[in-house]
Structure 1
Amino acid sequence: MNAFEEKVKRGFLLQEKNGVFFLTIPSFLEAGFQKHCYTTRIGGVSGGCYTSLNLSKTRENSPENKEENYRRVCRVLDVPYESLTLVNYAHGDGICRAYAKDAGKGITRANDLPPCDAMIIHEPGITAVTLHADCVPVFFADKKQRIACVSHAGWRGVYGELPAKIARTFLNEYGAERENLLIGIGPHIMAECFEVQEDVAGPFGERFGSETVISRAGSLYVDLQHAILEQLRREDIPPENITCADLCTFSREDLFFSHRRDRGNTGAMGSFISIDTEAV
């Protein structure tokens, strides 16, 4: 761990409300972003390999279960179900801006947002949502301007520097100041479990440094979190403004779904954030 990473804050807050277990970011709560969370797998109505708070839009053949699961998260956050808006996944490094008029897209109505893996919002009335089952959830918030973002960073998105691009968008297009930019890196498949081949490990090591790749017992592993932190370091983001959950979706079967661990027979967690009208 380098000097930058040593200053990064550690730990999301595990909370429970009405039987739903979810994680929040302490610095976001302190800044007034009360309506955000990363869900666990606990507190829903799904069964079997989707037990129980499955939010996947493509798995589990029960729209009724999935709607109820989303409604339970809405009750936890105190946001309208109709405000939920899902990124139009591309498994890449695209960013879109969504507005109150886009509320419901991908959840209650067709999603015609541009293909992307990150959604920036700055208006009340919309709740941005990304889904995850090993990929990295990265939250952003400008505590002064009340701008927020959730993103879905798979290994392609991390390699494509999606987190750095989001930070630059906040800084250059919205005029955010670095000291006001808060970032949370949520649960994902951590380095000890993310085994890859040389065709992935090599480029990661070249782009983000040798510490990004771990060699163990003849196998290669990539540290996605280190790659993200290195990107943010290069963008001069204060490390004290970053919080890492330090939780592995693969190894924590009690809390999380994992696409790799469960060989695709699994559900999905969600990242949610909304601008709280009371704090605007």
Structure 2
Amino acid sequence: MKFYQSKLLNAFSDIRHCYTTKHSKNLAFHVNDKIEEVIANHQHLAQELKYDCKTVVHMKQIHSNAVKIIDENDSFETPPTCDALVTNKKNIPLMVMVADCAPLLFYDKEKKTIGVAHAGRAGAFSNISQNVVDVFVNNFHAKPENIYVSIGPNIHQCCYEVGEEIFDETKKLDLEYAIQKRDNSYFLNIQKILQTQLLNAGIQKENIETAPLCTACNTTNFYSYRAEKETGRFSGIIFLKD
């Protein structure tokens, strides 16, 4: 598999998007790969997707629910510290990097606005999805019913075992519905949390698409921290075309 794409987002000709695979190699700078090799991976990806590598904005991800609107200070060499990005500028690719956490891609067909989010357990528990939708609405005058969201490949409940302390946390946050108990072990469904939060934020059910691929089950194509421990990162990427 070279890339994985959302059928939902493929319907729109004014954006380009994809989820990379191991075909594109590691795209993160914090996993002990040589910097020049990671840069080369980015340059190759930019050539394949037809954008200028210098314009892509990725993030220093910190497992928060912080959302950043792109400005002139943000670039490939100066990534902001946050876990979500939003822009309405054309030819500015937004990138989220993951290896089990959920990469989310957002697109508003009316306001021509895009966003990405990094939603691991911390991001899901702190409802980063709602924060992204709030930025679309409050800063770009979007209506939630016009926003489309793709939840990319991530670790699924089949492989995401958590401890009793996480189960207790879900109860405190009213997220117990996302826990499955099997043989005295607990398994977390991040997708279910994200889908529920997006619906509560006003996103239409038919405008939400979830990739059926578990990263821990598909290490041939995707990096998985749970399954591989020392591993790279793949990305979700989206940009507005001219």
Equivalent residue number for residue 215 of structure 1: 181
User: So what's the TM-score if we normalise by structure 2?
Assistant: 0.93
CA-to-partner distance for each residue in 1:81-123, whole Å, 9 max, x for gaps? Answer: 1111112322110000003x2453xx3x234x3x310000111
Equivalent residue number for residue 29 of structure 1: 10
Residue 128 of structure 2 is aligned to residue 128 of structure 1: no
Equivalent residue number for residue 142 of structure 1: 108
**Structure 2 CA distance for partners of 1:32 and 1:208, relative to 1, 3 Å:** farther
Separation (CA, whole Å) in 1 of partners of 2:11 and 2:179 = 34
Tell me by how many angstroms 1:140 deviates.
0.6
Separation (CA, whole Å) in 1 of partners of 2:125 and 2:31 = 27
Does the 8 A contact of 1:71 with 1:81 survive in 2? yes
Tell me by how many angstroms 1:145 deviates.
1.0
Match 2:236 to one of 268, 271, 277: 271
Report 1:95-174 matches (<5 A): 95-99=67-71, 101-104=72-75, 107=76, 109-111=77-79, 113=80, 115-174=81-140
Does the 8 A contact of 1:190 with 1:225 survive in 2? yes
Structure 2 portions without partners, runs of 5+: none
Separation (CA, whole Å) in 1 of partners of 2:127 and 2:175 = 14
Structure 1 portions without partners, runs of 5+: 1-13, 15-20, 45-52
Does the 8 A contact of 2:104 with 2:116 survive in 1? yes
User: So what's the TM-score if we normalise by structure 1?
Assistant: 0.81
Does the 8 A contact of 2:145 with 2:202 survive in 1? no
Does the 8 A contact of 1:35 with 1:78 survive in 2? no
CA-to-partner distance for each residue in 1:165-186, whole Å, 9 max, x for gaps? Answer: 2122212332212331000001
Equivalent residue number for residue 85 of structure 1: 57
Equivalent residue number for residue 195 of structure 2: 229
Q: CA RMSD in A?
A: 1.7
Tell me by how many angstroms 1:191 deviates.
0.8
Total equivalences in the alignment:
242
Separation (CA, whole Å) in 1 of partners of 2:169 and 2:134 = 23
Equivalent residue number for residue 40 of structure 1: 21
Q: Percent identity at matched positions?
A: 25
**Structure 2 CA distance for partners of 1:33 and 1:247, relative to 1, 3 Å:** farther
CA-to-partner distance for each residue in 1:55-84, whole Å, 9 max, x for gaps? Answer: 121124322321221112112211001111
Letter in 2 for 1:70: H
Separation (CA, whole Å) in 2 of partners of 1:139 and 1:208 = 25
Does the 8 A contact of 1:82 with 1:103 survive in 2? no
Separation (CA, whole Å) in 2 of partners of 1:244 and 1:75 = 27
**Structure 2 CA distance for partners of 1:110 and 1:103, relative to 1, 3 Å:** closer
Separation (CA, whole Å) in 2 of partners of 1:208 and 1:241 = 24
Does the 8 A contact of 1:208 with 1:227 survive in 2? no
Equivalent residue number for residue 47 of structure 1: none
Separation (CA, whole Å) in 2 of partners of 1:240 and 1:178 = 12
Tell me by how many angstroms 1:269 deviates.
0.2
Tell me the SS of whatever aligns to 1:35. strand
Tell me the SS of whatever aligns to 1:253. coil
